[in-house]
Every structure is written in structure tokens, then in C-alpha cells.
Structure 1
Amino acid sequence: MRLALIAALLLAGSAAPVFAQEAGVGQRVDRLEKEMRAVQRKVFPGGTQQFLEADIGRPAATPTPTGVPASSPVEDLSARVSSLEQELARLTGQIEQNGYKVRQLEEQFARFKADADARLNTVEGNAPPTAITPGRQSPSAATPVAPATPPGRAAAEPAAPPAESASVDPGEDAYLAGYRLWEQKKYAEAATALKDVVAKYPKHRRASYAQNLLGRAYLDDGKPGLAAEAFYANYQKMPRGDRAPDSLYYLGQSLMSLKPAKAADACKVYAELIDVYGEKIAQPLKDRVAKARADAKCGA
């Protein structure tokens, strides 16, 4: 009896470390599984949110010769921990690679957008647009009448537009298409395309550009009456738009192109431009307004 009791105590003493080891490894497995699920949610957002058992499951048992004992639970748990750690390292590396690729795409798009804005501002004869605060909404200009003879180009011919490139912005693409038609002196086609831009994308940042360029297409096509209406609409409906100050300048030019020229009304438009936008006007536009006032004999 005493021998049986002593044997039982010895067995219990030797099993305790094994059970403690199994419990410690089990906690590591639970912790790693939680980390794996968190990593998988980052790598596969919107997925099934399920644990990838195939990648981290218990290693397949290999046949053992007859008489050799099977692996212990501790060894099985250790194998699972190793598999989990390898999978976690792989997914962490994938997250870092995906983040790097996303940053590269964002930087490329930002460079493309900045380059497109700069070139469009250059070819349309303006410095980069600045924030503006409108004042009065309407210039005191007479109602435009039908044109008689076509005027000359209102500004020097611009350089080539930005090169074709893939875009995810249909409003930008539509504006560039209209711009290229205007540059090719296909004024009727350009007018149609630019009107569509304003109609389809009235809240787009290029809507002000499109409405202003619509007026220029009419003006270059010898239609100062329609041009004046287009320029006035841009200033009236989008006074905070990037091309609202330009539209006031070209409205004055349209009035001067009518037969007979309406110099007095043009002077009122130039005064409105200075009164509403003042020092916020870009310097190239300031220079053109000063010359236009002198041509119209607007006085001090």
C-alpha cells in the first residue's frame, strides 16, 4: 500500500511540469491566433474575417514505425506556435509592402495633379489661382448684341496641353477634351464639349475653367455677344471659381469687340473686377486689365 502511494506521488510530481508547460504553450497559441486575426483583417479588408486554418493548422502527422511512441501534446503545440509565428511574419511583411505601394501611388497622383494644374494655368496665361472673396454679383453691363466682325485672338496662343494620361476623374478628362478642341481652333466643337462639362459637373473644380473657356471659344469664333453671356454667367454663378476674375476681364473684352464697341460698359466691368477681387488678382491679369482700361479710355 505504501509503495502504491509513493508511486502515485512520484507520477504526480513528474507530470506537473509537463502540464504547466502545456498551459504556457497554449497561452502562446491563443495570443498568436488573436494577433493573426488582427493582421488578416488588415491584409484582407472586407474579407470573410475567418481564421486561415489551412495556413496555421496542426502539422500533418507522419507515420511512425511500430513501437515508437506518438508525439506529446507539448510537441504538437510547439509545432503550431512555430507555424503561427511564420505566418504572422509573412503577413506582416505583406502589410509593409502594400503600404509602400499605396504611398507610391499617392505620390504619383499628387505629382500628376500638380503638373496638370501648373501647365493649364500657364497655357491659359494665368498664374496659379488664389482664394478670392466675391463682392457684388453683377457688373453694370449692357445686354450684348449680335456680333458684326470677328475680333483677333484675345491672348497669345498657348503651348501644348498636358499629355494624355490615365485618369480616374471624368470631369478632368472632359475639360481637357474641350480644351484640346479649342486649341485646335475647332470652336464650335469646343463650345459643345465645354457646355457639357458645366452641365454634367457643375460642382467640379474645372467647371469655372470650362465656362470661362466656353466664352473664349465664342470670342475667338467671332461671337462676342455669346461670349459676353458665357463670361457673365461664370462670374454670376461661380464667383469663387478659379476663372471668375478672368471672366470679368474677358467680358470687358467682349463688350469692346461689339459693333459699336461699348467702352463705357467695359470700363464698368473692369471697375467691378478691381472692386471685387482687388489685390488678390494674379499679376499677369492685373497687367492685362491695366492695358484694357487704357484702350477703353476708362480714366483714373
Structure 2
Amino acid sequence: MTTRARNVISAAIVAGLLLPAAPALAQSDEQQRIRKLEAEVSALQRRVFPGGDGRYFEPEIGGTSQGTTVTAGTPSTTALTDILARLDAMEASLQTLTGQVEVNANTLQGLTTRMAALEQSGAAPTLASAPTPTPTPAASSPSQASTTTANNLTAMTGGASSQPARPAPAASGPSSQRLAAVQAIAKPKTDDAGDDEYSYGFRLWDAGYYPEAQQQLTLFVEQYPDHWRATYGRNLLGRAYLDDGKAREAAPWFLNNYQADRNAARSPDSLLYLAESMIALRDTDRACIALAEFGETYPAVAAGRLQSQYEANRAKVTCTN
């Protein structure tokens, strides 16, 4: 066999070996393209339906030995139905929360109205409440009152001492019916003994037993001068005298409470009741001084919580300024 013949035979054998490789190579490229498409579809599904927990699509795409078959995921209608159901549940929850907010708002409004009524009566509620921080004394602040005005207020008590006197015991003892009525008023017993003493005095005053309330509240302010209720106690003690027709005995308590701490909760009330005491004593000049001091020191209270009482007192006297 010649060299030319051997070369032709060799070329035929090589061609025969290479021909089957072409379809195999083409098939390999198609499989790679299919796997790439599958990966892209899976990524697109995860972006449309975040979570990838299998509720909206099959996490994997399977295939067979005969070829690659894409496994269908959860139908889109099922996913849409689930989303709509979740939206309905969220709307129902929102409606429930809205109703609860309205109920809470109405309840808060009722509590605010009750507190305003109690404050208007000039005494704190007997229910337990959170202690308030100890106010910082500001009796010498020039922005709150001038020294001249403070001296004029001090002169209102007619030279009485800064600490009012204790109530004198009655010449004759109370009747048995009154004793029984007073004993029927229960004294609260809580973990705060000072608050219990004040609350008992408030109950006596509220029931109209003014002499008994005077003794009880005097006991409270003497035993608990630094209690957070002290400003309430001094103010209510002055009211117990004023409501009992003893304006001269009431005035020192109101002045004492105002001068003790002008930022305290019942200091505005005491200054206004001091003006009422002077009006009851027909001392117009000093009543006008107290009213002017009240309007200058507590403009927000004069236009808010105590506005009606302030205007009523101003209408009772004619002040020059």
C-alpha cells in the first residue's frame, strides 16, 4: 500500500471518530442553556414572591434522563388568593385597633373631665395616684412676685405668725349623733401613712365636718411637712376654715401654702382662696393685691383651670389697677 493510500485511510478513520462528537457537543450546550434559564426563572420567582419557602413556587426544577422537564410551581391564582386573604385579615385587624383607640380616647376624655372637676373643687382625689416630684422652692424668684407684693401679702394676716395656730378644741363636746356620723367615715389604710392621714381629712371636709377636718388636716401638715400631699393639706385646711365661716383663721394657711413653694400643685389655689378670704373680711385692698399677684404669677391657670373662680372673685371687688 502506497503512502498516499495510507493517508486517505487515516483521514477517513479520524473523520469517523470525530463525527459522533458533534451532536454530543451540541446537546451539552443546550443543557447548559436550559440550566441557565431555569436559574433565571427561579431568581425571578424569588423576586416576585419573596421568601422562597415553597408556598408560591417549587424550590427546585427537576428533570429526567430523557431530557429536562420544567416542573410547574404553585398556580398564580393560588398566590393571589392567599395575598387577598392576608389583606382582608390585616384590614379586619386595623378596624379592631381603630375601635380600641376610639374606646381608649373616650375613656381618657372621661377621666380628664373627672380630674378637672375634682381640681375645680379645690381638693385632690382620694384615689391612689403616682407621687409627684418634690418641687424646687422658688419663693424668692423676682420673675414670680416682687418683694413689695410679697410683703403686702404677708401683712394680710394682721401680723399673725408664719405658722398658723392649731384649732382650739370646742368648749362642749360633740353630740353622740355627730360622733357616730364621724366614726362612720372610714379612714383609708394603705402603704402610705401620710396619704392616709390626708385622705381621711379630705373625707371629713367633703362630708361637711369642718372642725373635725381642721384637726385632722392640722395633724397631717405637722407630722408630714415634706410629704408630696403637703401642699394639698395646707390648702384644704385653709378651705376647712373658710367653709366654716372663719376667713381670718383660713388666710394664714393659704398664705403659708403659697409662700412655702409657689410651684407646688395647690399654690395657685391658695393664692386665689387668700383673695376670697380677704373679700369675706371686706378687705378690698388686700383682695386686689392677691388677685393681681395671682394673675401675674399664674397666667396659664388664670386662663384655664381656675378661670371661672378667678373671674368670679374679680367681679366681687373693684380694683384700681
Larger radius of gyration: 2
Question: Comparing both chains, which one has the higher relative contact order based on Cα–Cα distances under 8 Å and sequence gaps of 6 or more?
Answer: 1
* TM-score normalised by L of structure 1: 0.49
